[in-house]
Structure 1
Amino acid sequence: MQTGADSVRCFNPIFEEASNVVRERFPDTSTLWLARVDCDQHSDIASAISDQQISTLKLFRNGMMMKREYRGQRSVVAIADFIRQQQVHPIKELQSLEEVNTVDRSKRNIIGYFETKDSDNYHTFEKVANILRDDCTFLAAFGAVSESERIGGDNVIYKPVGENVPDMIYLGSLTNFDLTYVWSQDKCVPLVREITFENGEELTEEGIPFLILFHVKEDTESLEQFQQEVARQLISEKGSINFLHADCDKFRHPLLHIQKTPADCPVIAIDSFRHMYVFSDFKDLSIPGKIKQFVLDLHSGKLHREFHHGPDPTDSTPGQPEDTGEEVASSPPESSFQKLAPSETRYTILNRDRDEL
């Protein structure tokens, strides 16, 4: 996509040449299309795809727009190589069931057992794997290799992260793409995701606030408690706020913004992309409804209002002083993670000093 005369003039010939290179490598136009939209002339399409006012490359699979856009170098070679990588088949075929015991359990694995590749069940599995290939490892076994796992017919299982975590079986119809995709996405994309400098930009681009647990990397106990309480209290808020966890040492600067240091971790905060708000105390996480009220107070504007004008007359906000009857005006810390959002210089990202986050 492109908008603005300068952006069009600079990128048009590069994209055109990259398209020619790709067409030579992959002449089958039934499986790969490269399209160009002038956002100045087609603003309706542009606004539905991206709110950025610069040329943007988006990837679509099976009619669905992928969250991860192309962020690499703007050159013919780099773009053509990216498309070549996307053409690599997303499923690894297992030659024996013994290979299942050697899968990397630090990653999320989805394994399908099919009688044949030429089946509607496997074609659905392929579509799902194509869309979620960046979030899960997909494997498949066929025929005699998979026979012992197909007692009740074709079968798909999910192997979660961790050596001693039990497998989960897909119980829906494998011919139903929507059901298979929703189940797989739920397994491949965790409710609480880790934010890093590598994925921070794409998470920010999703455009919804962050609820972040800052914790020491080795402190898995607080992370597990946070994950449990998010699942218990905040599952209904999924889609209106991103649940994340961050390494205290790597994200020292956002902690300083809220007057905290790694020594204070674990710390929970909301970044609304305007301001940052601190949850009262990590120990309060297990109090029924406490963390949910914190999130609801963000949506209602109460956190912002009370930071600027002091506590509401009738109650106090989690993380804020008790109501003393006096109006205490203050200003919440500015958003720190907003700096990770795509900018006019997004494609010179290697020159950006991320230590200034």
Structure 2
Amino acid sequence: STPGQAEITSLDTGNIEDILSKTSVCHAHLCRFSQMLHPIFEEASNIVREEFPDVTQVVFARVDCDQHSDIAQRYRISKYPTLKLFRNGMMMKREYRGQRSVTAIADFIRQQKIDPIKEILSLEELNTVDRSKRNVIGYFEQKDSDNYHTFEKVANILRDDCVFLAAFGDVSQTERFSGDNVIYKPVGDTVPDMVYLGSLTNFDLTYAWAQDKCVPLVREITFENGEELTEEGIPFLILFHVQEDTESLEKFQHEVARQLISEKGSINFLHADCDKFRHPLLHIQKTPADCPVIAIDSFRHMYVFPEFRDIEVPGKLRQFVLDLHSGKLHREFHHGPDPTDSTPGQEDVAEMASNPPESSFQKLAPSETRYTLLRDRDEL
């Protein structure tokens, strides 16, 4: 394309599914196509189209959310202009937050087109794999195969969460006992590998398995990822702990997996550095000296779990989360303890719930009307 002939696809309810599913990378500009960004987006599209002429590789697209509010609602778009990245029909959680310039946007797309899979030329290379990161390793008879193409799609989507490696042909032969094989190497030198036992031609199964391994159930919240976590739109259950206190984190991870796995998707399980997040602790009248501390941030109020040691009491942490979903924590905030509540220890929960401070972590979210970055971290 030449300047002035940018190929920017307009997405609507009728074509969005088809276009997104047929494109490996789609950079979509969602909501009120601002006049300032419009020419920049077009020029970046021109540059990228010259480098990637195949329209199945990269598509620049836009959505007018005034006309297509259903699309804005589906992707939880509340600010504009918003730049989202889609891969193989799936919206990536990390939206584009770089500079709004032609060069920066074009460079971002180039980075997305770099192959996320490193080829292993000898199995000895696996001895030097960085075990501080999550690694997914595929062993394939040949690169041009349905199995490997599925692996490629998964790697492209989860490239920010795992390191992906692959070996082919003779190099991988000893690892292919009964055909192509994929394993996961967790963080830690002594943690055993985990083998994928499903069909490698089934993308949904392969992706679900890899996502479960690459995206931990309990994630760390930082100032760098706080905005994208708030954009997921669900409350936080947070363990505040000092960085060196790995024992409390392991207990929290264990109890979340044991008591709350069914709540995944309705609440985010997070852990935070007490020292870095002193301000939210002050909101709930705590200091790093009080850590470990567990709290819920509903984006309206913060509620404190009475005693950290009680997470090992069967069902207690789960009930704390269920009381948020049922409205009990908020109800007691307005009306005091429920009169029928006579469970031992619940008086403490009700007392703390009846005086919750306002949400702290909602301040990490961007403006509802324009793109922002958290500039003053001391506000939190």
CA deviation profile, 1:277-314 (whole Å, cap 9, x unmatched): 00010010100010000000000111111122221112
Query: How far off its partner does 1:329 sit?
Result: 10
Q: Which moved more, 1:108-117 or 1:25-34?
A: 25-34
Q: Which residue of 2 aligns with 1:314?
A: 340
Mapped pair 1:8 → 2:3: no
Tell me which of 354, 357, 360 is aligned to 1:333: 357
Instruction: Name the amino acid aligned to 2:360.
Output: S
Instruction: Name the amino acid aligned to 1:70.
Output: Y
Instruction: Name the amino acid aligned to 1:186.
Output: D
Counterpart-to-counterpart distance in 2, 1:212 and 1:187: 21
Tell me which of 88, 94, 110 is aligned to 1:68: 94
Q: Which residue of 1 aligns with 2:26?
A: none
Counterpart-to-counterpart distance in 1, 2:242 and 2:260: 23
Q: Which moved more, 1:68-77 or 1:308-317?
A: 308-317
Query: How far off its partner does 1:331 sit?
Result: 3.6
Query: How far off its partner does 1:346 sit?
Result: 6.3
Q: Give the SS at the match of 2:36.
A: helix
Tell me which of 43, 55, 59 is aligned to 1:17: 43
Q: Which moved more, 1:328-337 or 1:269-278?
A: 328-337
Query: How far off its partner does 1:266 sit?
Result: 0.3
Is this contact kept in 2: 1:106–1:162, CA < 8 A? yes
Q: Give the SS at the match of 1:110.
A: strand
Query: How far off its partner does 1:330 sit?
Result: 4.8
Mapped pair 1:265 → 2:291: yes
**Structure 1 unpaired stretches of 5+:** none
Counterpart-to-counterpart distance in 1, 2:142 and 2:290: 55
Q: Which moved more, 1:276-285 or 1:303-312?
A: 303-312
TM-score (norm 2): 0.88
Tell me which of 148, 151, 157 is aligned to 2:174: 148
Counterpart-to-counterpart distance in 2, 1:103 and 1:148: 19
Distance 1:240 1:2, change over 3 A: closer
Is this contact kept in 1: 2:242–2:292, CA < 8 A? yes
Distance 1:135 1:193, change over 3 A: same
Q: Which residue of 2 aligns with 1:248?
A: 274
CA deviation profile, 1:125-174 (whole Å, cap 9, x unmatched): 01111111111110000011111101211110000011110000001111
Counterpart-to-counterpart distance in 1, 2:348 and 2:226: 34
Counterpart-to-counterpart distance in 1, 2:278 and 2:259: 28
Mapped pair 1:186 → 2:209: no
Q: Which residue of 1 aligns with 2:12?
A: none
Counterpart-to-counterpart distance in 2, 1:62 and 1:329: 43
Is this contact kept in 1: 2:162–2:214, CA < 8 A? yes
Q: Percent identity?
A: 82
Counterpart-to-counterpart distance in 2, 1:343 and 1:50: 13
Instruction: Name the amino acid aligned to 2:86.
Output: F
Mapped pair 1:113 → 2:139: yes
CA deviation profile, 1:199-253 (whole Å, cap 9, x unmatched): 1100100000000000010100000000000000000100000000000000000
Tell me which of 373, 376, 379 is aligned to 1:349: 373
Q: Which moved more, 1:264-273 or 1:299-308?
A: 299-308
Distance 1:319 1:87, change over 3 A: farther
Is this contact kept in 1: 2:31–2:77, CA < 8 A? no
Distance 1:197 1:317, change over 3 A: farther
Is this contact kept in 2: 1:111–1:140, CA < 8 A? yes
Instruction: Name the amino acid aligned to 1:82.
Output: F
| Cα RMSD for the two superposed structures | 2.0
